[in-house]
Chains A and B, each alone.
Chain A
Amino acid sequence: MKDVLDMTMPQLDWAQKLVPRWWEKLFSCMQCGTCSASCPTAYAMDYTPRQLWQMIRLGLEARVLSSRTFWLCTVCKSCQVRCPRGIPITDTMVALKEYAHQQRAAVPDLFVRLGETVTRHYNISGDDNMARLIWSQNLPQPPVGVKPLRRTAETVYFVGCVSSFYPRAYAIPQALVEVLAEAEVEFTTLGGEEWCCGYPLYVAGLREQMAALARHNVERVREVGARRVIFTCPSCYYAWSHLYPEVADVRGLRLQHATESLAEMLADGHLKLGPVEDVMTYHDPCDLGRKMGVFEAPREVLARIPGLELREMEATRENSLCCGGGGDVEIADSTVTLGVAVRRLTQARATGAQTVASACQQCRRTLQEAARQNRIRMRAVDVVELVWLSVQAWRQLAEDARAVGLHGSHTG
């Protein structure tokens, strides 16, 4: 049944309260629908993003706050970069979550609990934070920087919560520390002193709680005298690059995603790579690609691995489709996350590749989980893992060659 909206007392200034910095831009929306059609999760929303803007303009506060639209935003920024009116759409989605928290509106329980977990345990999983290096336990010989930690180091590897505590992603930090050791990079991790970067809180609408985490992390990195921080998690990388400057002093620190560091090392010839025979496609993580502008580094790295054939998906680079795992949507409605992931896997499959490489532990987890649950014969890996495989392949080749050489000298 359709009701008649009573506009006797319209709250036309609500947007000014909600997004004081850009409400004029929001008002300039021409309702073209580019945002809705770009949105990976719009299909599951009760109102499309476009409809939400009109509701905000009309000041329909109660209706907007009871909608689940903004809780399903993956913060992939696909809408924001395409918006013909240049409206900070994704930022508005985050602002809505913040507003909902402040108004104690219908915030999904798990979003409240996420804030509590992180402020109490300093990580998103609620595990004991001192167990941060649990992923390194089954490394045959953890390199220095992992065990033991270095007291001073030029480079810090900031592992991130997902890779630290979710077994499905352990392989990524394992691979990176091996590769760094192989390239003789003097690095350290922060062990139990690494706290959640705060990005999950920011996208949950709990930006205020991020500041303390940010300051702690920056202080720890300064303590070891590091000048460079390497991330395997694009979200940590994004937070440090774009959110930290507002609350902490990150000046003078060189922030790099692992793929950027690897591309540098490979260009310098620091690493030798052996063949990895596979046909694969590369999935651009939103936080690394669209939001940080890193499109080339991971592709450069993949191109340097002998035997690897890279096939691009139809939606790629700035037009890449989110895996569904961003923006804490997984805790709002995990079926939506998997729904998006299946769509992305279908695009990946269409290239004929068997493997989808990403440069993000969350993309890898999400895609792998969707493939498993839907029996899609597709493997998700991280670029860093592939590099480690390739380094091992080269070692094997070198060893074989040496064996042949030794054998040759005996007979000679």
Chain B
Amino acid sequence: MMDAGRHPHITLLTYSEVESVSGYVGNFTIRIRKRARSVDEEKCTGCGACQEKCPTKVLDTAYEAGLGYRKAIYRPFAQAVPAVPVIDRASCLWFTKGRCRLCEKVCPTGAIDYNQQDTILEVQVGNIILATGYDPFDARRVSRLGYGRYPNVFTALEIERMLSGGGPTGGRVVLRDGKTKPESVAIIHCVGSRDENYHPYCSKVCCMYSLKLAHLVRHKTGARVYQCYIDMRTGGKAYEEFYKRLQAEGVVFINGHPAEILQEDGQLAVYVEDRILGQLMRLPVDMVILSVGLEPRHDSREVARIFGISTDADGWFREKHPKLDPVATMTDGVFIAGCCQGPRDIPDSVAQASAAAARVMSLIGQGEVEIQPSVAVVDELMCTGCGQCIPTCPYAAIEYLPDKRVAHVIEALCKGCGTCTGTCPSKAVTLRHFTDRQLVSEMMGALFAMRGEEIGVLP
């Protein structure tokens, strides 16, 4: 991250949002709203004095998963790049109550700017790589597992934060009271994944991270750890070996998905069937960890719309071809990498990101793009300018030329699907190499051949 931040050819725009994209491969215009962070990036040295002195503590539901606090002026996390903080205007005393301004006083470089406004940038780019990631599944939705109702039911991300030395508990794994070490822990797999009621797909990463959590929780607390799983999916280099190591360490593997978790006699009781034995079980434990699955970002469909790409039924970005072209999209010049396309782990995400970068590099290296010859063309004499073709185009390849009052096909975007040719009421659009006459001749030929087969004239 540091390298990216320092690189002379990389401009990092954090706390910014893409509002619209127009153009086509090699020629995109992107409108970006750079949100007002109330801190001048040029002046700020990232010393952190403002954060230290800010009197307003806010529960950090993002990075600390709701276990820790941040200030009203803050960096998302210690290693964030750039190191410039942002003022959360919804909780800052100056913005809410009109007093304080402490950060302004302590800032040695005068970087605090309460009057900063959002700015709009327009940038020209040739290619776009989307790597917008995922959202963790909200475990509250599975009411039978008690998250949000029972304090000692945690999500995997909460435990992840606890295990971090710089995290809210300083690396200790404790119950919600903040001090008691658990003596027994159950880790529940497939929460929100592989479930028609939530997400039918497998989130792919949870088996491995559950194993990791089991290892670390045992290491930190010495607790008895149960893994309640449906199928252990440890495909990947050295993954099965890690599973074997955990088995050898003495983690208890229970093959079955729990039906419910109830608080009974001051402890959590996990009800599960061990399907190997066909045995119903009640596991009393101090702590439950829910291995929540991955889901598309809440706004993935909106982002897809802005960039002119599509999503699948679940909301993941759709690749051009699942096997043969997994990093490209149906829109030339827009590539995808990582979990925005579907659940995957770090090695896979890194590999895909490298592939996307390589694809972009090759386009830049060539300096030109080849397009298919079979594109639609508008006969400007026949076009009435009714505009019916424009919304039907799935690639947004048709524009309206107001001075000529006709539709115009952007050849770089057209994929030759033929939707517009079928739509045009005045038959002003034709598809090159697939004109009506050519198609009819083709059909005649095919039909003649079939008839020939029937009467046995032709082989």
Residues in chain A within 8 A of chain B (CB atoms): 30-38, 42-43, 47-48, 50-51, 78, 81-86, 314-315, 317-319, 347, 350
Contact = CB atoms under 8 A, between A and B. Distances in A.
A37 B273 contact: yes
| 8 A-B pairs with the lowest CB-CB distances in the bound complex, closest first | A37-B259, A33-B273, A86-B196, A38-B259, A84-B195, A33-B256, A32-B257, A36-B273
A283 to B, nearest CB: 15
A78 B143 CA distance: 13
A48 B278 contact: yes
Secondary structure at the A interface, as helix, strand, loop or mixed, is helix
B280 A43 contact: yes
Contacts of B278: 47-48, 50-51
30 contacts: A30-B231, A31-B275, A32-B256, A33-B257, A33-B272, A33-B274, A34-B259, A36-B256, A36-B275, A36-B280, A37-B256, A37-B257, A37-B271, A37-B273, A37-B281, A38-B260, A43-B280, A50-B278, A51-B278, A81-B197, A82-B144, A82-B197, A82-B259, A84-B194, A86-B197, A314-B263, A314-B264, A318-B143, A319-B144, A347-B262
B285 interface: no
A32 B275 contact: yes
B133 interface: no
B258 interface: yes
Given A37-B260, A314-B264, A50 B275 contact: yes
A37 B197 contact: no
B264 A350 contact: yes
Interface in B242-301: 256-260, 262-264, 271-275, 278, 280-281
Contacts of A318: 143-144
Given A33-B256, A84-B195, A314-B263, 15 more contacts: A30-B231, A32-B230, A33-B274, A33-B275, A37-B258, A37-B259, A37-B260, A37-B280, A43-B280, A48-B273, A50-B278, A78-B259, A81-B197, A317-B143, A347-B262
B398 interface: no
Nearest to B261: A314
A51 to B, nearest CB: 6
Contacts of A32: 190, 230, 256-257, 275
Contacts of A30: 194, 230-231
Interface of B: 143-144, 190, 194-197, 230-231, 256-260, 262-264, 271-275, 278, 280-281
Contacts of A83: 196
A81 B144 CA distance: 11
Which of A32, A47, A48, A317 gathers the greatest number of chain B CB atoms within 10 Å? A32
A85 B196 contact: yes
Contacts of B272: 33, 37
Contacts of A82: 144, 197, 259
A84 B259 contact: no
A78 B258 CA distance: 13
Given A32-B275, A33-B257, A84-B194, A42 B280 contact: yes
A230 to B, nearest CB: 30
Contacts of B259: 34-38, 78, 82
Contacts of A50: 273, 275, 278
A299 B56 CA distance: 40
Contacts of A314: 262-264
Contacts of A48: 273, 278, 280
Nearest to A350: B264
